[in-house]
Structure 1
């Protein structure tokens, strides 16, 4: 046999083999695709099963956060007899920022709009405390600051803390 005949035979063999493989692929293509789709669906179910408890825990923690920065609860926790205004303000602001930093990672598991509302609520609470300080005379004490903050809260038509908790609850209901 000559070299040219061997090369022709090898080319015919590879062409036949390639054609056979392509035919098998086209015959089994739908089955292969269905297999991989089922695997993806199975993995997604496993991931959801693992992430759902984390998402619920994140929503839980944010409800606790909102409740803890609510001035009605915050002032009860931080107010002490005879506390001066600067000490109370520093304590309130420190508590809000500390709680926020403690819960900042929860944004991974909740809706971005809800996280934006929670972040805005924190910023508005800090602004409310700072504005209450500015409206008081220089010789005011902690009790007067508490009263000013709570009076401002009473003047608001809808409690933003309750509204934020309701928004978080709606996000939880979307999970089911």
Structure 2
């Protein structure tokens, strides 16, 4: 009997030790998880301090790009008296592509939805210009091309696509705060 009582006492001590170990483990794990979460929050906060200015600058550049390729602004900026429609077409398309290439790195900091809208607006603008030139006679001037493009935009059944794109960018920026 003595050996059974001794064995039961060892089992009781072992069970108590296992219970103490698991209780301690639960508390230590909870503490370590809390510290880890706190450090992650601090890391994200510090990272945000670094990336927020870059993201805001990217959104600013995106807005500037959209404004610069908006035909109502672009045609005034690029208009040269005496230029043919074909020459104006080449100037417009090369300007749009140069602006796009200049801003292509901004896609790292803006949402993929916004960047897809920017790409679509760029492609649509080039398409509008190309379609307008095809509809004009060979003797058309840059003024004729400008009028044709602006009439096309005025005749759209929907809201101005450049305004829609700008609103998408603004919503993205508001989501940052």
The CA deviation at 1:62 is: 0.6
The CA deviation at 1:63 is: 0.6
State the TM-score, normalized to the length of structure 2.
Answer: 0.83
Gapped runs of 5+ residues in structure 2? 1-16
The CA deviation at 1:23 is: 3.9
SS at match of 2:147: helix
Q: Count matched residues.
A: 157
Partner of 2:173: 172
The whole-number CA distance in structure 2 between the counterparts of 1:66 and 1:77 is 14
1:85 and 2:88 correspond: no
The CA deviation at 1:105 is: 1.2
State the TM-score, normalized to the length of structure 1.
Answer: 0.83
Partner of 1:131: 131
Aligned positions of 1:66-145 closer than 5 A: 66-145=66-145
The whole-number CA distance in structure 2 between the counterparts of 1:31 and 1:116 is 44
SS at match of 2:110: coil
Could you report, residue by residue, the CA deviation over 1:2-30 in whole angstroms, capped at 9, with x for unpaired residues? Answer: xxxxxxxxxxxxxxxxx99x949725222
Moved over 6 A (4+): none
